[in-house]
Amino acid sequence: MIKKRVLSGMQPSGKLHIGNLVGALQNWVTLQEKYECYYFVADWHALTSQYADTLQIKEYTLDVLVNWLAAGIDPDKAVVFIQSHVPEHAELHLLLSMITPLGWLERVPSYKEKQEELKDVDLHTYGFLGYPLLQSADILIYKAHYVPVGIDQMPHLEITREISRRFNYLYGTVFPEPEGLLTEFPKVTGVDGRKMSKTYNNCIYLSDSPDEVEKKIKTMMTDPQRIKRTDSGNPELSPVFHLHKIFSTKEEQAEVAEGCRTAGIGCIDCKKILIKNLFNVLEPLWEKRNSYLKQTNLIEDIIQTGTKKAKMVASQTMKDVSNKIGLWKKKG
Instruction: Specify whether 114 is catalytic.
Output: yes
Our CB check for ligand TRP shows the closer of 48 and 238 to be 48
Helices (H) and strands (E) counted in the chain, each on its own, are 15, 5
**Can residue 9 be called a binding residue for ligand TRP (CB under 6 A)?**
yes
Q: Could you say which of 5, 17, 45, 244 contacts ligand TRP (CB under 6 A)? A: 45
Our CB check for ligand TRP shows the closer of 140 and 240 to be 140
Our CB check for ligand TRP shows the closer of 135 and 317 to be 135
**Can residue 139 be called a binding residue for ligand TRP (CB under 6 A)?**
yes
* H or E segment to which residue 60 belongs: helix 57-71
Do β-strands 146-149 and 179-182 pair in parallel, antiparallel, or remain unpaired?
Answer: parallel
Per-position x/- string for 154-173, each x denoting binding to ligand TRP as judged by CB under 6 A, each - no binding: --------------------
Q: How many residues bind ligand TRP (CB under 6 A)?
A: 13
What is the Cα 204 distance to its own chain's centre?
A: 15
Could you say which of 77, 143, 187, 198 is catalytic? 198
**Can residue 7 be called a binding residue for ligand TRP (CB under 6 A)?**
yes
Could you say which of 195, 272, 288, 324 is catalytic? 195
Cβ contacts of 100 within 8 Å, gap of 6 or more: 133, 163, 166
Q: Could you say which of 5, 6, 11, 204 contacts ligand TRP (CB under 6 A)? A: 11
State whether residue 53 is helix, strand or coil: coil
**Can residue 149 be called a binding residue for ligand TRP (CB under 6 A)?**
yes
Instruction: Specify whether 195 is catalytic.
Output: yes
Residue 33 and residue 77 in contact, taking contact as beta carbons nearer than 8 Å:
yes
Interface segment toward ligand TRP; rule CB under 6 A; list 1-9, 91-99, 227-235, 258-266: 1-9
What is the full DSSP assignment across 198-263? Answer: GGGT---BTTS-HHHHHHHHHT----TT--STTS---GGG-HHHHHHHHHS-HHHHHHHHHHHHTT
Residue 160 and residue 167 in contact, taking contact as beta carbons nearer than 8 Å:
no
Our CB check for ligand TRP shows the closer of 40 and 241 to be 40
Our CB check for ligand TRP shows the closer of 136 and 222 to be 136
> Residues, the chain, total?
332
Per-position x/- string for 25-44, each x denoting binding to ligand TRP as judged by CB under 6 A, each - no binding: -----------------x--
Q: How many CA atoms lie within 13 A of 209 on its CB side?
A: 2
Interface segment toward ligand TRP; rule CB under 6 A; list 69-77, 133-141, 211-219, 309-317: 133-141
CB of 9 to ligand TRP, least distance (A): 4
**Which residues is 8 bridged to in the sheet?**
39
Of 99, 190, 97, give the one whose Cα is nearest residue 135.
Answer: 97
Query: Residue 260 carries which side chain, given as an amino acid letter?
Result: C
Footprint of ligand TRP (CB under 6 A): 7-11, 42, 45, 135, 138-139, 147, 149, 153
Annotated active-site positions, please?
A: 114, 195, 198
